[in-house]
Amino acid sequence: MNILLIRNDKLGDFILTWPALALLKAAIPQARIAVLVAPFTTPLAALLPWLDEVISDNFSSTSTLAEALKSREFTVAITLNSTPRTALALRQAKIPYRLAPATKWVQILYNQRLIQRRSRSLKPEYAYNCDLISRFLTDHHLPAHALGNQNDWLPPTLQRPLFSPPVEKGDSTPIAVLIHPGSGGSASTLSACQYGWLIDQLVTQGMSAIYLLAGPGERLLAESVKRASKNGAAKIIEPATLPELVKVLAKTALFIGGSSGPLHLAGALNIATIAFYPGHRSATALRWQTVNAPNRRLAISAPGKHVNMIDLNAHWPTIAAFIKQQNLAEVS
């Protein structure tokens, strides 16, 4: 069976397809599985163990995309977030089985649809993705693994971490806390002053190896957070590529930040995470929950639309208790 999965948008959205990919490979280990992803996520996708091919979506037109897909003779296409361009390309490629969420008018271009209503945020994004895989498996008379309960939505057949990067020789200096003050444009985040205050509190807990993660275009933001910290304890780290970010995360004990791609990558590696979420329905902590174990994640939601409305002082006892539970001081 020749299967194509499509999630060619943001980094975090792609990472939240990993449970679905793992579920699919476990159900049909002999299948050939390919993904169509955004060009900047291609190097990360190439590291995943469940894939036989990674297709970078740098095609200039719908017709060239359709031709590329048709030449690969896919028999199944599962689109986890459909757009008119990809829907039309799949139909032009004449892929026999085409499944997508039954949202937006573009659903008419698919011959298989699943009603999900993701904007209601009734379950995590990765659970919605797994539901599409389960629908495909059921349609093909294959056993579909059930999702977990509401405490842990990940199918119990899947192991954490979802992805274990290869161990390489080199700098193994541990990072006790990695703070990402950026958001990648996907959601609001705390202010520089709030992150600076948080760094100072972490230092009082005995944390010394504190780093600020600066993604593309985020160096100035990281510097402003560093200045906002009274003790200036945090160091700035700038991975140049996604594989380099994986290496940084592999030696990190705790990741702190808003709902962004790096947060979800940390979750996929089963790193302890403290995440800040806005309060509006389509961006809830449940909808964009990380895939690390329940006892490895702490989610704090704002009382309104903007994350900087969070009262960190009020939440600090919960944060400190979580840190103590993780024995993170041993990493410092």
Reference 82, options 108, 121, 56; nearest CA is 108
Please state, in angstroms and rounded to a whole number, the distance separating the CA atoms of residues 306 and 154: 28
Q: Above 70 in pLDDT, residue 22? A: yes
The β-bridge partners of 55 are: 36
- What average pLDDT does this structure show over 150-163? 87
Beta strands (DSSP E) in 29-172 are: 32-37, 53-56, 76-79, 97-101, 112-114
Domain 2-139 has CATH 3.40.50.2000: yes
**Cα–Cα separations (whole angstroms), residue 213 to 210, 237, 244, 248:** 10, 5, 12, 9
At residue 186 the predicted structure's pLDDT band, cuts being 50, 70 and 90, is: low
Q: Above 60 in pLDDT, residue 331? A: no
Coil, helix or strand at residue 212: strand
In tens, the pLDDT along 88-113 reads 999 999 999 999 999 878 889 999 99
Strand order from edge to edge, sheet including 53-56: 53-56, 32-37, 2-6, 76-79, 97-101, 112-114
Please state, in angstroms and rounded to a whole number, the distance separating the CA atoms of residues 257 and 215: 12
Radius of gyration of the chain (CA): 20
**Cα–Cα separations (whole angstroms), residue 49 to 18, 22, 164, 165, 265:** 10, 9, 9, 10, 15
Q: Above 60 in pLDDT, residue 120? A: yes
Is it true that 2-139 and 175-331 share their CATH fold? yes
- Report percent pLDDT > 70 for the chain: 96
Q: Above 50 in pLDDT, residue 332? A: no
In tens, the pLDDT along 194-223 reads 999 999 999 988 888 899 999 999 999 999
Q: Which CATH number fits domain 175-331: 3.20.20.70, 3.90.950.20, 1.25.40.20, 3.40.50.2000?
A: 3.40.50.2000
Going from N- to C-terminal start, the domains of the chain cover 2-139, 175-331
**pLDDT value of position 3:** 98
Quote the pTM value. Answer: 0.93
Alpha-carbon torsion angle 266, 271, 277, 281, nearest 10: 80
**pLDDT value of position 255:** 97
Burial degree of 327 (CB within 10 A; 0-12, 13-18, 19+): exposed
Q: What is the phi/psi pair of residue 298, to 5°? A: -130, 125
